[in-house]
Amino acid sequence: MKLPDTAQRIHELIRKINHYNHQYYQNSVSEIPDYEFDTLLEELSGLEKQHPDLKRTDSPTQRVGGTITKEFPTVYHRFPMLSLGNTYSEDDIREFDRRVRKAIGETVEYVCEMKFDGVALSLTYENGVLQRGVTRGDGVRGDDITPNIRTIKTLPLTIAGDAVPALFEVRGEGFLPSDVFTQLNKEREDIGEALLANPRNAASGTFKMQDSGLVARRKLDCYVYSFLADQTPFDTHAAGLVQLKRWGFNVSPTWQVCATIGEVMDYIHRWESARFQLPLATDGIVIKVNRYDQQQELGYTAKSPRWAIAYKYPAQIASTTLKGVIYNVGRTGAVTPVAKLDPVLLAGTVVKRATLHNANEIARLDLRLGDAVFIEKGGEIIPKVTRVDLTRRDPASQSIVYPVHCPVCSTPLIRREGEAAYYCPNEKGCPPQLKAKLEHFIQRRAMNIESLGEGKIELLFDKGLVRRADQLYDLQPEALLGLEKNIVDEETGGVRKVSFREKTVENILSALRKSKEVPFKNVLFALGIRYVGATVAEKLAAYFRNVEALAEANFEALIAVPEIGGRIAQSTLDFFADPDNRQFVERLGAAGLQLATPDAPVVLESNQLVGKTFVVSGLFAGFERDELKQKIEANGGKVLSGISGKLNYLVAGENTGPSKREKATQLGVRIISESEFMLLVGGQ
């Protein structure tokens, strides 16, 4: 393609992809099948790699990230990012209205919006192209986090149309949708990582991550709520919101024009409980004078506009008594203290338990048994104890003594360096850890044997039939039939009977049989290797193809896998270094579980690469990495997982690390590019 044609094609691809993205993310309309969309994106990415000079800052390929920023530059805001006066009192809101009307002397209309609880962002557009995204910082200067901002799928990278001002800013709230947050924590739980406290902290941490590729995977979103320019093309804030929506921004549909303060009050009351259905946390509402000329007339104080105010909903707090502390032991042995409370109503639910996080938190609260405590529900789902009412403390009350032994198996607890949690190190004998490992094994995303859920695992464990998941496959119907147990629900105190009748046994055995077809990646996840969540398991399974290759891989070979870092590599090594774990895996293999990814049938194209070995690393313009490996095999070559003296070629794409190149050079391995590889197989 000639250069002007390429530029034209890039232009066309960007326009098309942006259109489909907008339809998909803003309007939930899928206009073309996924693979067609991916083909367009790949074509664009390929053209950009061949012609880096034609790569545009508004290209949708930027959305997948890839930039690493060691330190975000600090930049000044063109318009300072002010804060809002806020109040918890409805009287103050009426007073605000009186002040406004007195100053203006004519009728005033308001716009009410939700007050989103995320991270304030300022986005600069020049000639319709997103140029910069900055955090609030101190209001005068913030961090330039543009590569991370570009990963927000609902934020237009380009705006088309006649009336687009040459330079303007959009302000909004970046956030992690509640369902994404829940999923993220579920994944962290899977791999035994500390849970993120709430969606706002998670969003704020994500916006500051150095690797925009990781940011892209977190699915951040942004609701925009202000338009700023030297000359605004609209007369009212409401018209601005409508236009922002038309330009493709994500504007929360919750805003409303209110003609009177009475309507404002109705809005406040209506959203008080309805706000919990929204996809993100909110902590109040913002009331803004609608007309820009009136806003100007009212002006600003040093810190905030006189034309707006925030009404904050009272925090969801309740006061109750601490009855005791129980200590839960999780799959990884982490001990979590949980407060047992006198039941109390909070935000529509009866609360009997609240998290105390860890020993440090108990010390910080200076908690004692029998204390009157305040509990709160913030953005997080589980309530937490936030404060002790010292005025009501019984002077004779006893401090809480954090256990030094596991509350279940009595093993002395340990604390790992740099971690707040205590752990029970008895991973092979501690009942709650063993049970949690079994629960992990049977879950849907692992072996999908959910007919074993709801107390049945506990029953099998307590009867001594299953201590480790491989024993599930030895179960005989006769041993199961008639088993029963009363299980006491800790929450309600209610008793539930679990029993194995004929139908139950049939279901369990059939689910166990079916689980033998579950692909290797799920089995690998089910093993419960620390830090190996479902996504990592998929990557390892695709790369090493079978469990033997994975078990034999050394540290270098493991970190050679894209996106596998030192921590995962080490825990994988530790897992396979343990003979019990090796025996566990062997027994699963003997039971018939899938411990390998079936090879795609190789259609032989030529014998050009027979006897030659290859390692493939980095990103390629014309291939996915797996496709390149298939191409090698289709031409008779062999793909290895690590660089060694035996290796003939390292096919190095973009992003191949310098250490890998160095090692290959030292060992005399030839390093070839994608195009040199194509010459080897007779392509061009």
Distance of CA 489 to the CA centre of its chain: 31
Residue type, 78: R
| b/e burial code for range 647-674 (CB count within 10 A of at least 16 → b) | bbbbbbbeebeeebbebbeeeebebbeb
R_g of the chain, CA atoms, integer Å: 30
- The span of 113-121, 196-204, 376-384, 387-395 binding ligand IVH (CB under 6 A) equals 113-121
Residues 160-199 that bind ligand IVH (CB under 6 A): 173
C-beta closer to ligand IVH: residue 8 or 296:
296
- Find the shortest distance in angstroms from Cβ 167 to ligand IVH: 19
Residue closest to ligand IVH (Cβ): 120
- The span of 4-12, 35-43, 76-84, 644-652 binding ligand IVH (CB under 6 A) equals 76-84
Give the whole-angstrom CA distance, residue 439 versus residue 454.
10
C-beta closer to ligand IVH: residue 157 or 309:
309
Q: Where are any strands of DSSP class E within 28-109?
A: 74-76, 86-87
User: Which of 200, 178, 196 has its CA nearest to residue 276?
Assistant: 178
C-beta closer to ligand IVH: residue 309 or 362:
309
- Find the shortest distance in angstroms from Cβ 300 to ligand IVH: 8
In the chain, % helix, strand, coil (3-state, to 5) comes to 40, 20, 40
Residues 300-329 that bind ligand IVH (CB under 6 A): 304-305, 310
Give the whole-angstrom CA distance, residue 133 versus residue 169.
10
Our finding on whether 82 is near ligand IVH (CB under 6 A) is: yes
C-beta closer to ligand IVH: residue 212 or 226:
226
Give the whole-angstrom CA distance, residue 462 versus residue 435.
10
Task: Please say if 153 is a catalytic residue.
Answer: no
- The span of 47-55, 81-89, 183-191, 596-604 binding ligand IVH (CB under 6 A) equals 81-89
Three-state SS sequence of 148-204: HHCCCCCCCCECCCCCCCCEEEEEEEEECCHHHHHHHHHHHHHCCCCCCCCHHHHHH
- Find the shortest distance in angstroms from Cβ 81 to ligand IVH: 6
Our finding on whether 113 is near ligand IVH (CB under 6 A) is: yes
Q: Where are any strands of DSSP class E within 198-289?
A: 221-228, 256-258, 282-289
Our finding on whether 116 is near ligand IVH (CB under 6 A) is: yes
- Find the shortest distance in angstroms from Cβ 59 to ligand IVH: 29
- Find the shortest distance in angstroms from Cβ 102 to ligand IVH: 21
What does the chain come to in residues?
684
Concatenated DSSP letters of 557-608: HHHTSTT--HHHHHHHHHHHHSHHHHHHHHHHHHTT---BPPPPPP----ST
Q: Tell me if 408 sits within 8 A of 432, measured CB to CB.
A: yes
Give the whole-angstrom CA distance, residue 444 versus residue 365.
39
C-beta closer to ligand IVH: residue 77 or 545:
77
Our finding on whether 200 is near ligand IVH (CB under 6 A) is: no
C-beta closer to ligand IVH: residue 83 or 360:
83
677, containing H or E segment: helix 674-680
292, containing H or E segment: helix 292-298
- The span of 35-43, 59-67, 111-119, 176-184 binding ligand IVH (CB under 6 A) equals 111-119
Is the dihedral angle over the CA atoms 448, 452, 458, 464 positive or is it negative? negative
Among 30, 50, 74, 83, binds ligand IVH (CB under 6 A): 83
C-beta closer to ligand IVH: residue 251 or 341:
251
C-beta closer to ligand IVH: residue 305 or 403:
305
- Find the shortest distance in angstroms from Cβ 147 to ligand IVH: 21
Residues 247-286 that bind ligand IVH (CB under 6 A): 286
- The span of 114-122, 261-269, 585-593, 603-611 binding ligand IVH (CB under 6 A) equals 114-122
State the catalytic residue, choosing from 2, 16, 55, 115: 115
Among 120, 338, 341, 356, binds ligand IVH (CB under 6 A): 120
Among 10, 84, 155, 335, binds ligand IVH (CB under 6 A): 84
Residue 663: CB partners within 8 Å, gap ≥ 6? 556, 643
Give the whole-angstrom CA distance, residue 241 versus residue 52.
36
Give the whole-angstrom CA distance, residue 65 versus residue 219.
12
- The span of 78-86, 203-211, 256-264, 561-569 binding ligand IVH (CB under 6 A) equals 78-86
C-beta closer to ligand IVH: residue 314 or 658:
314
- Find the shortest distance in angstroms from Cβ 224 to ligand IVH: 9
Report how many residues bind ligand IVH under the rule CB under 6 A: 15
661, containing H or E segment: helix 658-666
Rule CB under 6 A: which residues touch ligand IVH? 82-84, 113, 115-116, 120, 136, 173, 225-226, 286, 304-305, 310
The residues annotated as belonging to the active site are 115
